[in-house]
Amino acid sequence: MAKSKSYLVAYFAAIIGIIVLLTPIAYYDNFLGESYIWMWGLYTLKPLLGDTSFNFIESNELLIWGLLATFLIFLITLILLLTARKAAKRNKKYGFLWILCGILYIAAPLIFFFGVSSEVPSWLTDLFWEIYSFHFAFYGSFIAGALAILAGLI
């Protein structure tokens, strides 16, 4: 039996998962400046004139949803890295586990999005998502999820 290379796809999904943890989930950019928000609570504000400020979200409700999604992505990334390493050494398949990890990768940014939407009044939520746009951490989770599912299927 030929050795499966699906562990390479799982490694790549985990690398994207690491990048997701390090990049913002939302951003705002206009002629007055830029603002970025990370899933784990950090936000930066860079005005056109002045210094960049780094702060953490002060709302506990919003921070809880972001930390929940961050913990989920961190855990999935760790599982993918460990099982991909075992799969490479022992020619073992973790198809079901990788598919489950892919589904959870896809669920994590949705947990953040709907969690934030449920904690903030609807008029403010609409305003927030009209001002801020999704950044790589949102889309990257879907890419990592699709790759993890692909790794589980091949």
**pLDDT 10s digits, 43-85:** 888 888 888 888 888 877 778 888 999 999 999 999 999 999 8
Residues 28 and 34 sit within 8 Å (Cβ to Cβ)? yes
Query: Residue type for 62, please?
Result: L
Residue at 143 is within a domain: yes
CATH number of the domain that residue 101 is part of: 1.20.140
Total domains in the fold of the chain: 1
Closest CA to 39 of 134, 154, 152: 134
Closest CA to 25 of 105, 95, 113, 120: 113
pTM: 0.86
Residue at 111 is within a domain: yes
Low-confidence ranges of the chain (pLDDT < 50): 1-2
Domain holding 93, by residue range, is: 6-153
Residue at 1 is within a domain: no
Determine the pLDDT at residue 93.
78
CA distances from residue 147 to 19, 41, 46, 103 in whole angstroms, order as listed:
14, 26, 34, 10
